[in-house]
């Protein structure tokens, strides 16, 4: 059986179910306990599990990740919340030089079952330090896994997979997806890493939509369909590991690719995906690989300027039309 629940409720359920299943799982972060999380995602967990397993922390991302890492190395399975993705930069050494490398520097003896829930994306006039999507920062770091769900179903299933794993996972949750509703089973399930999903089948162009942009990408695909353009929409679900096979098979069919994400365009996740396609699928492409992403400027506070720099439905549709009309 399934029912419709929100993205945030799906994450809450995943945390609660994993904490009930395994006593080594616990949640730490700023305001995750009594307050229930600044976005309400951890509501009710403190009441059920108590302050030993739902721990409020000081305003110190370095302490949150460092404490979580230490606990993971000692056999616990911490879920560490970073309230705003921008401030994971404060814990960069812990993430990049410690968590990512502990297994390798221990000769494979140390598991690092640390799940870092990182809240990313532009929520509307939160300005330059509370709006970023920094997932590409970490794609360059061996030893880290990166999940970026776009639906409640995937949010729950991928988070459970992250918590049960043996590696550090950066789990990106877009703020504007928290209220999105979707079908989620009542029965237990997980979603494997490294398996993309085709959200919409098509034959004319492949659109790869990452995380929070997926709803707009699907709207753009419907808009294009009304004009006779049949777009295939693919959701990678995880950036590391990345499902190259599904993407390449789609490109073999459509011969055109548009990559859409909310991270800044320069060196964003789309750049790596484009490079993969250039290496693996160049012979199937009839046009350049196009990226639709946030413009390369810090996020402005002004809402009109913010909307100007973000990728929109019209931006995606225009990119696809231009690609369809491209002549070698």
Residue that the structure tokens 């928290």 belong to: 178
pLDDT on residue 327: 79
Inter-axis angle of helices 152-164 and 7-21, nearest 10: 30
Q: Which one of the listed residues 130, 174, 261, 264 is annotated catalytic?
A: 130
pLDDT on residue 277: 98
Domain with CATH 3.40.50.970 in the chain: 2-185
- The DSSP-derived string for 20-62 is HH-TTEEEEETT-STT--TTSTTTTHHHHH-TTTEEE--S-HH
Pair 232, 205: CB distance under 8 Å: yes
Of residues 228, 246, 212, the one with CA closest to residue 85: 212
Residues 6 or more apart whose Cβ sits within 8 Å of residue 298: 128
Does domain 197-324 sit in CATH 3.40.50.920?
A: yes
Cα–Cα distance measured from residue 307 to residue 283, given in angstroms and rounded to the nearest whole number = 36
Task: Report whether pLDDT(328) > 80.
Answer: no
User: What number does CATH give the domain 2-185?
Assistant: 3.40.50.970
**pLDDT (mean) for 241-247:** 98
Pair 126, 132: CB distance under 8 Å: no
pLDDT on residue 291: 98
Give 53-107 pLDDT, tens digit per residue: 999 999 999 999 999 999 999 999 999 999 999 999 999 999 999 999 999 999 9
Compute the mean pLDDT over every residue in the chain, rounded to the nearest whole number.
97
Q: Are strands 181-185 and 2-6 parallel, antiparallel or unpaired?
A: antiparallel
Phi (first) and psi of residue 324, to 5 degrees: -60, -35
Give 155-184 pLDDT, tens digit per residue: 999 999 999 999 999 999 999 999 999 999
Domain with CATH 3.40.50.920 in the chain: 197-324
Question: Would you call 130 a catalytic residue per the annotation?
Answer: yes
Instruction: Identify the weakest region by mean pLDDT among 61-65, 227-231, 286-290, 323-327.
Output: 323-327
Q: Tokens representing 192?
A: 């494997």
Helix locations, the chain, DSSP H:
7-21, 45-49, 61-73, 92, 102-105, 135-139, 152-164, 214-226, 244-254, 269-280, 303-309, 313-324
């Amino acid at each position: 059986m399934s029912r419709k629940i929100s993205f945030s409720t799906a994450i809450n359920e995943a945390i609660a179910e994993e904490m009930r299943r395994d006593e080594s799982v616990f949640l730490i972060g700023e305001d995750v306990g009594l307050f229930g999380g600044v976005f309400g995602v951890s509501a009710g967990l403190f009441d059920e599990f108590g302050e030993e397993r739902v721990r409020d922390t000081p305003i110190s991302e370095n302490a949150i990740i460092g404490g979580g890492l230490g606990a993971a190395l000692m056999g616990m399975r911490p879920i560490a919340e970073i309230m705003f993705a921008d401030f994971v930069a404060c814990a960069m050494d812990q993430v990049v030089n410690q968590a990512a490398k502990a297994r390798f520097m221990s000769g494979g003896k140390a598991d690092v079952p640390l799940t870092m829930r990182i809240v990313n994306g532009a929520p509307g006039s939160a300005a330059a330090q509370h709006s970023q999507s920094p997932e590409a920062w970490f794609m360059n770091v061996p030893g880290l896994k990166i999940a970026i769900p776009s639906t409640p179903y995937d949010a729950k299933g991928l988070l459970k997979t992250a918590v049960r794993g043996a590696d550090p996972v950066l789990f990106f949750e877009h703020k504007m997806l928290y209220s999105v509703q979707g079908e989620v089973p009542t029965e237990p399930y997980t979603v494997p890493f490294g398996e993309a999903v085709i959200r919409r089948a098509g034959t004319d162009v492949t659109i790869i939509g990452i995380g929070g942009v997926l709803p707009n990408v699907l709207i753009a695909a419907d808009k294009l369909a009304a004009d006779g353009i049949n777009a295939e929409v693919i959701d990678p679900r995880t950036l590391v590991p990345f499902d190259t096979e599904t993407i390449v098979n789609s490109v073999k069919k459509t011969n055109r690719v548009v990559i859409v994400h909310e991270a800044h365009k320069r060196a964003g996740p789309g750049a790596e995906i484009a490079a993969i396609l250039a290496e693996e699928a160049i012979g199937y492409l009839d046009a350049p690989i196009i990226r639709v992403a946030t413009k390369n400027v810090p996020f402005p506070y002004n809402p009109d300027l913010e909307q100007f720099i973000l990728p929109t439905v019209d931006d995606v549709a225009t990119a696809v039309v231009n690609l369809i009309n491209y002549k070698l």
